[in-house]
């Protein structure tokens, strides 16, 4: 499976995964139809499936036109999405594409919105297969986990988002993180304010700046890098607890308070 990050709208990404050998593809979060259709035409590939992580229009607005171009495409979306003909999926649901070559497992990841789901792809067989091909492990996580950060709370609670991020954190370290926006540089500026002495974070900031200077996407990252540098995945680290304490003017009572303090700080950063 080869995944291409296709820019759309102002700073969105549509992710298109192509079958090895070509011909078929999966499209994640088509916020705009034209760039996805142009990519697929150029690749000579037909959309076999469309993945929808949540119902914000910058992730769904291209769906109608994309389906008109590829009427056979199966749409997987959150339960009760209201999308006509879509298959509603929730926690633990599995499906496969490319005649079973790639399996997907659905994780419910509320917080950014209440209905938000993420799709974990595993090319090794089933979604839980620890012996699978590492290079094919990919997470399509919309606006839940960002490279270096996480989504705003626009419908879910801090506790929901904290639990969703903890769930994603249990995925293998080599899992590639395909998120919905190019927000990495700003996210890492905030991360540095929270953890100025994190050496791995400082190194990542340099790598990301070099990519952006060349106009290249910073997506995907890998889960291991996120766990080492993303403050929202580090709620139990002393440094992050201390940063939250500074915001609250008292020690946070639990990881939910640590998360909420960081998220509020970032909202105004
Ligand atoms: Zn969103």
According to the model, what pLDDT value does residue 123 have? 78
Distance 235 CA to ligand 1 centre (A): 23
Q: Would you place residue 132 in the very low, low, confident or very high pLDDT band (cuts 50, 70, 90)?
A: very low
According to the model, what pLDDT value does residue 136 have? 82
pLDDT tens for 185-201 read 999 999 999 999 999 99
The angle formed by the CA atoms of residues 234, 137 and 219, to the nearest 5 degrees, is 60
- Strand-pair category, 138-142 with 176-179: parallel
CA 264 to chain CA centroid, Å, is 21
Domain ranges of the chain: 2-267
How many whole angstroms separate alpha carbon 32 and alpha carbon 14?
Answer: 8
Which homologous superfamily is 2-267 in?
Ribonuclease Z/Hydroxyacylglutathione hydrolase-like (3.60.15.10)
How many whole angstroms separate alpha carbon 223 and alpha carbon 176?
Answer: 6
Distance 239 CA to ligand 1 centre (A): 29
CA 200 to chain CA centroid, Å, is 21
According to the model, what pLDDT value does residue 135 have? 61
- Given 56, 116, 134, 254, the catalytic residue: 56
Average per-residue pLDDT for the chain:
95
DSSP H helix total and E strand total for the chain: 9, 14
Mean pLDDT of 170-180: 97
Mean pLDDT of 113-139: 72
124, pLDDT greater than 70:
no
| 116 counts as catalytic | no
**For the CA atoms of the chain, what is the radius of gyration?**
18
How many whole angstroms separate alpha carbon 254 and alpha carbon 109?
Answer: 20
How many whole angstroms separate alpha carbon 50 and alpha carbon 26?
Answer: 6
113, pLDDT greater than 70:
yes
125, pLDDT greater than 50:
no
| 15 counts as catalytic | no
pLDDT tens for 96-108 read 999 999 999 999 9
- Given 15, 29, 59, 116, the catalytic residue: 59
How many whole angstroms separate alpha carbon 167 and alpha carbon 173?
Answer: 13
Residues within 5 Å of ion ligand 1, judged at the Cβ atom: 56, 143
| 54 counts as catalytic | yes
- What percentage of the chain exceeds 90 in pLDDT? 93
pLDDT tens for 1-49 read 899 999 999 999 999 999 988 799 999 999 999 999 999 999 999 999 9
Helix (H, G, I), strand (E, B) or coil at 18: strand
Question: Global pTM?
Answer: 0.95
How many whole angstroms separate alpha carbon 182 and alpha carbon 175?
Answer: 18
Mean pLDDT of 233-258: 98
| 58 counts as catalytic | yes
Name the helix (H) or strand (E) containing 248.
Answer: helix 238-248
């Amino acid at each position: 499976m080869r995944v291409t990050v296709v820019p759309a709208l102002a700073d969105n990404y549509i992710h298109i995964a192509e079958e090895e050998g070509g011909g078929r593809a999966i499209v994640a979060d088509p916020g705009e139809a034209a760039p996805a259709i142009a990519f697929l035409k150029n690749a000579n590939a037909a959309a076999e499936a469309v993945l929808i992580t949540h119902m914000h229009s910058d992730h769904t607005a291209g769906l109608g036109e994309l389906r008109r171009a590829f009427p056979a495409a199966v749409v997987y979306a959150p339960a009760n999405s209201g999308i006509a003909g879509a298959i509603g999926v929730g926690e633990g649901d599995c499906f496969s594409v490319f005649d079973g070559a790639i399996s997907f497992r659905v994780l419910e990841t509320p917080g950014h919105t209440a209905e938000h789901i993420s799709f974990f792809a595993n090319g090794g067989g089933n979604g839980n297969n620890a012996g699978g091909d590492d290079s094919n492990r990919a997470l399509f996580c919309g606006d839940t986990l960002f490279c270096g950060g996480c989504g705003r709370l626009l419908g879910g609670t801090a506790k929901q988002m904290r639990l969703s991020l903890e769930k994603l954190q249990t995925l293998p370290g080599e899992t590639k993180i395909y998120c919905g926006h190019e927000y990495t540089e700003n996210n890492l500026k905030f991360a540095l304010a929270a953890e100025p002495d994190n050496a791995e974070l400082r190194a990542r900031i340099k790598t990301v700046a070099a990519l952006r200077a060349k106009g290249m996407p910073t997506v995907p990252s890998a889960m291991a890098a996120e766990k080492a540098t993303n403050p929202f995945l580090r709620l139990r680290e002393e440094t992050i607890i201390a940063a939250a304490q500074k915001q609250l003017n008292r020690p946070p009572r639990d990881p939910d308070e640590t998360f909420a303090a960081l998220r509020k700080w970032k909202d105004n950063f």
